[in-house]
A and B are shown apart, each in its own frame.
Chain A
Amino acid sequence: MPAPMPDISRQYQRREQLTMLALAFPALLMILLLVVLPVGWLAWQSIWHDGFTLENYRRILAEDIYWRSFALTFEISLTVTVLAVLLGYPIAYAASIVSRGWSIVILALVVLPFWTSVLVRAYAWLALLQRTGVINQLLRQLGLIDAPLALVHNTFGTVVATLHILLPFMVLPLYATMQKIPRDLLQAGASLGAGPVLTFWQIFLPLSLPGVLAGCTLVFVLSLGFYITPELLGGGRTVMVSMLVSRNVELYDQWGAASAVGVVLLLAVAAIFFVVSRFVPLDRVLGQR
């Protein structure tokens, strides 16, 4: 919000600007030193090894494991995003049409998992999905299966847990957008003879699309870089891009290779944000938590 700026003099304005800069500086310095500098260093390392080299990037293009990992990551992220819209839309819609009390209940059920440790939730899914886990035990007691199902240590387990963790990132921006849709527009539609289904498809759905876009962006981008769930629930076979990065650092001490993979991931994320910012202001996408 622009503050009323008394137009006394340029000097006053200059002083005001310097004060504001000084106030923002400590926080800015933290971000510069711990995000911008490290990421810049990473980028530098990916192209500089005793001189300029593109060897690390050539390897990404040449080696199969990199390709497969990028493809798998893309596939998992897309799956999670589509499922998040399908499951998140009804929830956000419900929260926006029910009474205030119920809407608080629904949002609480969305926000509480959101603020629960990702690690705890990964653990919960491990406990639920493993061979001797809760779900397999239940299905066995009900006599529905003879042998335990392989629900975890594969891509399925990774998707289920990742979706669980990212669903709130879909519901919250959706709800924020839906809440702002003027109800009299819907009444106008109804008064002109549109049934509830037509009103929804013709009026409500199009007006909620900015929220869908914001939610999809967040979920897709976050799952591109997801690490904990594939590591713990993927069973070593679901190698997502983030795991390529960490393995290159931890196991193989290949900092250059890790950096190059990181840079490619970062560029993908930046490209997505850039495209999306053409349609929805970025601070709206990010400020929904």
Chain B
Amino acid sequence: MNMSRPYRVAFVLVCVLVLLYLILPILIIAPMSFSGARYLAFPPPSLSTRWYQEYVGNAAWMQATRVTLTVAVLTVAIATPLGVAAAYAVSRSTWRIMRVIHITLLLPLVVPIIITAVGIFFVYAKVGLVASLTGLVLANVMLGLPYVIISVVAGLQSFDATQEMVARSLGMNRLRSFFAVTLPQIKASVIAGGIFAFISAMDETIVALFISGGQYQPLTKRMFTALRDEIDPTIAAISTLMTAASFMLVLIATTRRKDS
């Protein structure tokens, strides 16, 4: 659509400003994390890696990092197969109950997370899962499932179901035909779903605030507690690392998806 020149200039300007608003705050953390100063300054008065050293040398931060990575890996390992199976069922079945199940499976996205968090805290308090690794993993699996399901359902929608029927009519059972015919073709969406579940587990904060404790506190909980007290530049270093990890994972997830 053609716009007259002044409109177009104004329009482009607005877009650029909004995009800067979106991306700059995230990027600005990186140079600040390499600052040699005790306070946050931009541009940093001197460069150093002292905040990264502080992070790596601190036993509590390292323990939290281990917890975060363990939880994220286990979350993906559990949520991906469960999510793929459920996505297959809701997109292949014509049974009406499956529609209800489909919506139910997306509930974690709809229910305000603070409510879920408090509710899980109540339940965990009764069954003794508060401050446990198991409890943290289970909660993150629940939160990650919708990402896997949405991604895989989309993948299955663009895949021709008759191919699987052909394989089955040639004598393969359902399971074999799924692994031999369907899975290779929706591989990209499965991987993308798994990656999003990983990022979701890595970034999850609110549920962890309520249910994690003791030695099983993820990075985000420690960061949150630290942020309430003072602005410690170590958090800038950790944030930069987390952002870099997210960026890389998203790039992998989205470029792979385009290949298929």
Using CB atoms and an 8 Å cutoff, list the residues of chain A in contact with chain B: 1-5, 16-17, 19-21, 23-24, 26-28, 30-39, 41-42, 45, 87-88, 90-91, 94, 97, 106, 109-113, 115-128, 130, 132-134, 137, 164, 167-168, 186, 190, 196, 199-200, 204, 221-222, 224-225, 227-228, 231-232, 242, 245-246, 249, 255, 258-259, 262, 265-266, 269, 273, 282-283, 286-287, 289
Contact count band on B: 35 or more
CB distance from B127 to the nearest CB of A (A): 10
- B102 at the A/B interface (Cβ < 8 Å)? yes
Contacts A28-B104, A91-B18, A112-B23 given: A34-B122 contact, CB under 8 Å? no
Report yes or no: A283 in contact with B122, Cβ–Cβ below 8 A: no
Contacts of A232 in B (CB 8 A): 224, 227-228
Smallest CB-CB separation from A258: which chain B residue? Answer: B118
Contacts of A123 in B (CB 8 A): 29, 223, 227, 231, 235-236, 239
Report yes or no: A286 in contact with B106, Cβ–Cβ below 8 A: yes
The 8 Å CB contact of B94, one of A3, A87, A116, is: A3
Supply 4 further A-B pairs (C-beta < 8 A) apart from A27-B149, A28-B86.
Answer: A35-B108, A127-B28, A227-B113, A228-B205
CB distance from A44 to the nearest CB of B (A): 10
Smallest CB-CB separation from A37: which chain B residue? Answer: B123
Complex Cα spacing A16 to B15, Å = 51
Q: Which residues of B196-240 have CB atoms within 8 Å of chain A's CB atoms?
A: 196, 199, 202-203, 205-206, 209-210, 220, 223-224, 227-228, 231, 235-236, 239
Smallest CB-CB separation from B206: which chain A residue? Answer: A227
Complex Cα spacing A27 to B40, Å = 44
Smallest CB-CB separation from B108: which chain A residue? Answer: A35
Contacts A39-B119, A87-B18, A115-B199 given: A24-B26 contact, CB under 8 Å? no
